[in-house]
Structure 1
């Protein structure tokens, strides 16, 4: 564990974790804190950032990060934030380095948030964005869906929905600390209580209900852990071993492997939730993002070769 990671965990334990101990979710406070603390990296040299937040930009409402020398690879990125806060702007710290390392033009989706827009709004927005990308000429074998936390769960739910609808599937998916069981039944919710520097385990069940609304919390498109994984493309999952959401990753990986899906599960010691967000400060984040970028390049190259 690097000193940079230790410092990040100390800050999270001091400033972020106490917020998750409160008995009620304060949506407005969470959104205000996310917007106030957002650190926005510079657009990488040789890349262009285009923001599309107008009323007529849907279903591709969000941000494009595009290289001057295109690689032919596209990433559809779904940000985290419990489905009720954060945005493409708050997640540039993870999107920019992932795009730069992979060489992929990346679209970060500004999907609708709960509680104003509970399930299935976020899923419908992700599906619409994916289908629009394909309609605009993006080849599915050159496309990867990625996301963190709630966005990682949304990425997996999007795969399930696409498969069930008979849509062409992307080359693969990347999930950073994905939230896959909104019913909060994983043992790590309890066993990692106190070890997780960012969250109390008790915070997740109320947040899950906020997003699910009237829908069964175990619906596979809400909690992809409860879905069938047959026929899905390769998955890369990264998670810290002290996270209360550890079992959200390990159980999905196990089910997917049993279903015949190629899964790379990387459990990193003493890393906080979505530690990739701390690049370039934390060396473990840099290494994890480089691994994710290699995965993106590899699966798109393999799928393109198989298709041709």
Structure 2
């Protein structure tokens, strides 16, 4: 199990696994201090969108791979992207991350109308963007053009057979997800229902585009979330790549499935913001 010592060791390992390689992607970067984060600016614009990207890592880790993925998204979509460095658990439990997400939204929305903003998050970041939509509704604020949740964590508790059945096929283990949920709400102050997107109704909110891997531990809860939102009347499309693990999109063009997933993300942004084509169900949609 994780403890204070091996959390720090884990963070060091993740930072060493894959360093930032901006030369691979045609972008510039600019640091921002309040809120703290990085702007990823593509040298070739392909869209009028601005992306707010919330990284994954179980709310506990923020490795170099997440930074590389931010650069990857900005490059492929061809739109400026802001990636905040939000506070991490277990040092900072909920609502720290929710507050930081809202602060990042205000930063991006200061210069960009909501109809041109797309929010993207992977894993815990997928949980974060889904919760951000609820926060915007609660504060009677405009919704973004779209919400793209990649392999999102839709229930902070124990849901679905894949949470344990896919342990052998995924890099993330089911017990890790449960540990991350405990750190998010250590005293049970807010409760599983309040902090699990699957327990909420997304009808009338921004269009949702979800991606999932068939071999990941979160597969069942992602599919159940999508099915529930269809029942609720929300605007939702969910694509499933049966052979893929959690966060497979980070593989970029080294895998056909990840390249296909990134292309679908770009299609969604261009459709919702630029009016290019009609984004609908694809070959992977379930």
Fold-level match, TM-score > 0.5? yes
Match in the other structure for 2:144: 170
Structure with larger RCO (C-alpha < 8 A, sep 6+):
1
> Is residue 100 from structure 1 mapped to residue 75 from structure 2 by the alignment?
yes
> Is residue 183 from structure 1 mapped to residue 162 from structure 2 by the alignment?
no
* Aligned 1:120-269 pairs, distance under 5 A: 120-134=95-109, 136-194=110-168, 196-214=169-187, 215-220=189-194, 222-269=195-242
Q: Is the 8 A contact 1:229 1:256 kept in 2?
A: yes
Could you tell me which runs of 5 or more consecutive residues in structure 1 were left unpaired when the two chains were aligned: 1-22, 304-308
Distance verdict in 2 for CA 1:32–1:285, change over 3 Å: same
Distance 1:133 1:205 in 2: 32
Q: CA deviation at 1:43?
A: 4.4
Distance 2:25 2:128 in 1: 30
| SS of alignment partner, residue 97 of structure 1 | helix
Distance 2:86 2:226 in 1: 26
Q: CA deviation at 1:45?
A: 6.2
* Aligned 1:21-40 pairs, distance under 5 A: 23-25=1-3, 26-40=6-20
Q: RMSD of the alignment, in Å?
A: 1.9
Q: Is the 8 A contact 1:149 1:178 kept in 2?
A: yes
In the alignment, which of 252, 257, 261 is matched to residue 288 of structure 1? 261
Distance 1:107 1:284 in 2: 25
Distance 1:207 1:111 in 2: 15
Q: Is the 8 A contact 1:64 1:106 kept in 2?
A: yes
Distance verdict in 2 for CA 1:139–1:191, change over 3 Å: same
TM-score by length of 2: 0.88
Q: CA deviation at 1:212?
A: 1.6
Distance 2:274 2:48 in 1: 10
Q: Map Cα deviations across residues 86-117 of structure 1 (whole Å, 9 max, x no partner).
A: 15x43133222222222211001110001111
Could you tell me which runs of 5 or more consecutive residues in structure 2 were left unpaired when the two chains were aligned: 277-286
